Chains A and B, each alone.
Chain A
Amino acid sequence: MLRPQAADSTEHSLERRRVRVDRSGAFALASTDLGSQYASLYFTRLNLLRPRVLAAARARWADSLDNPPECVQRILNVQVGVPSYVVGTVFVDMPNKPNILKDIAKEGWTVFPEARETYTSDNDTVLLEDESGRIALTGEIVRTTVFVTGIVIGLLGYETEDGEFHVLDVCYPSFEPQPSMPAAPTQADEHGPWVALVSGLNLGSQGHMDMRHELLLDFLTGESGTAKDQRAASQIAHVLVCGNLMAPMQKPLDPRSRGRSKPAVLHGGVGRATQAPGQTPAGAGSNSGTEPAGQASASASTEAAMGGFDPLSIATADTFLAELSASIPVDVMPGPSDPTTSFLPQRPIHASLFHQASRASSLHMLPNPCALAVDGVMFLGEAGQVLDDLGRSTRVARGLELASEVLKWGHLAPTAPDTLWCAPFTDTDPLVIGTRPHVLFVGNQPRFETALVELPAAGGGHALSQPDESQQARAGRKEATRVVLVPSFAATGTIVMLHLRTLQTKTVEFGTAL
């Protein structure tokens, strides 16, 4: 299929469209030292984002007004009734958030807390914090704007008699100018090139490839359909697997979860090593399926930690990737259920797990989250754990709206390390977004959603007064980002195709229903 077309060839062979991929994004970190505390991470995040917020805040509130509000350097120095603006990190105090101290006090704790649907409640308090101290926020804006722990913003307001800060306006950081799209679409780009975004394949949950996976393979490699379909498939230049390539481990390790239908996600813990009756391990190859219940020895606990591992899922994924990468370049990002580190940024799945597929040079392993440039189009994305955690932390927005907030905040995962696992960086914060990408994708979502989000280059939102010409020119310039929520293939059987020149999307659905 990939041979060049000979002039006298009687066979009709198609050549696949090619694109250049640049994978030198900021998340390809080699190693992280896990020995430090997280205070350094918050300090670094504040110092990286504070100058950007101050610049945007000055342009928005101070430069164009006659009586500009003053900028208060330390939050504790705000004065009652004086309009001023402050910059700090938001902290949302949620009583429903898992708290290890409360769990210990209740004396019913296990190593890993139960996963909760949401951390929000009616008793949440939003505070703004910097090196000097913190102050509680009030005002109507606080209820209607999305505030999560860890974002760095500027707030205009005044201190009330109760010692709280009444918020009048919110300001977000400014960004470096977004590089323009590399090429305008030409006549040759009418049919492509397309990038296929796939997520949540969950290979190996039955020990063999699902019919839908076979259909997906045939579609992407061009082996299905007529000549017209094959011509369309040859325009798919790249496949990006956005997380959850392999199915999560089915075996629960927490004895309290017996009888639950949801499988426990991979955790190698030292919980009590009793096996829940009635819960069969996934696949046929699990080797600790006959572990006697109630045995609490150390060897049994490590056996339980490792025993639920299904080698068939890796073999299935290997076969799938080998067939796919023989025909089309594939980039694989890990997700929450893949065998790699679980704290952000997740290390790429090691290619040596896949014996056959790793021989192909067209298979690349990426970290999660990842930033790459395909033919000059900047992609930034993550496998879904960040958006799911954000959804648990706020009620104000969901789904696509919440994913677009990331482009305003300038930080990809602000709730890390509070409710999301993250490595304790001491001198950088690689999750800070410096320039808005052209495409922001989130994997493993329940359904497909997409929008072309346009945001002003600096500050975000409306200006309070009439800015002058140069500011208007700069603030009026909008930067567009295509935000895509990629649906989970295991749940919906749908993949997303993105046109590289026009950033249009379409979905392809695979099903076996008649």
Chain B
Amino acid sequence: MQTQAQTLLQLPRIRSTPVATLLADRDALDARLRAFDLSSAFGPCVGISRLARWRRAARQRLAPPDDLGVLLASPEAAADPALREALWHNKL
């Protein structure tokens, strides 16, 4: 009969979350986020945060990439303006 602690020790440890995987390769992530911004299928990217734009695209069933959605909703993206805001934020 195992104790609860022994059961927990035997579970595989989750070393990397999807968000951490994306953040590991920052250059590729930035390229993907820029492509998300510039894609006309999801509408204009000016004046709206990336998360709000992703949610709008999801609500209108335009199939935005799911992993980007998880990243944008995470606390890391909320804290970093380079991730949170779109390409031309404060530049136009």
A interface residue numbers (CB < 8 A to B) = 35-37, 39-40, 43-44, 47-48, 131-132, 426-427
What's the least CB distance linking B52 to chain A, in Å? 7
What's the least CB distance linking A360 to chain B, in Å? 40
Chain B positions within 8 Å of A43 at CB level: 43-44
| 4 cross-chain pairs, A with B, having the tightest CB-CB distances, nearest first | A43-B43, A39-B44, A427-B56, A36-B47
Task: Please give me the residue from chain B that is nearest to A424 by CB atom.
Answer: B47
Chain B positions within 8 Å of A47 at CB level: 43, 60, 62
**CB-CB contacts of B43-71 with A at 8 A, as 1s and 0s?**
11011100010011001101000000000
The tally of CB-CB contacts under 8 A between chains A and B is 35
Task: Please give me the residue from chain A that is nearest to B46 by CB atom.
Answer: A37
The CA of A35 and the CA of B47, in the complex, are separated in Å by 7
In the complex, the answer to whether B52 meets A426 with C-beta atoms within 8 Å is: yes
Chain A positions within 8 Å of B44 at CB level: 37, 39-40, 43
The CA of A44 and the CA of B43, in the complex, are separated in Å by 8
In the complex, the answer to whether A37 meets B47 with C-beta atoms within 8 Å is: yes
**CB-CB contacts of B3-33 with A at 8 A, as 1s and 0s?**
0000000000000000000000000000000
Q: How large is the interface on B (under 10, 10 to 19, 20 to 34, 35 or more residues)?
A: 10 to 19
B interface residue numbers (CB < 8 A to A) = 40-41, 43-44, 46-48, 52, 55-56, 59-60, 62
The CA of A43 and the CA of B55, in the complex, are separated in Å by 14
Among candidates A40, A48, A132, residue contacting B48 with C-beta atoms closer than 8 Å: A40
Chain B positions within 8 Å of A37 at CB level: 44, 46-47
The CA of A309 and the CA of B19, in the complex, are separated in Å by 57
In the complex, the answer to whether A39 meets B46 with C-beta atoms within 8 Å is: yes
In the complex, the answer to whether A44 meets B60 with C-beta atoms within 8 Å is: yes
Can you list 26 residue pairs at the A/B interface with Cβ under 8 Å?
A: A36-B47, A36-B48, A37-B44, A37-B46, A37-B47, A39-B43, A39-B44, A39-B46, A39-B47, A40-B43, A40-B44, A40-B48, A40-B56, A43-B43, A43-B44, A44-B43, A44-B56, A44-B60, A47-B60, A47-B62, A131-B41, A426-B48, A426-B52, A426-B56, A427-B52, A427-B59
The CA of A39 and the CA of B88, in the complex, are separated in Å by 15
What's the least CB distance linking A256 to chain B, in Å? 34
Task: Please give me the residue from chain B that is nearest to A37 by CB atom.
Answer: B47
Chain B positions within 8 Å of A40 at CB level: 43-44, 47-48, 56
Chain B positions within 8 Å of A426 at CB level: 47-48, 52, 56
Apart from A36-B47, A44-B60, what 7 extra A-B contacts exist at CB < 8 Å?
Answer: A39-B47, A40-B43, A43-B44, A131-B40, A132-B40, A426-B56, A427-B52
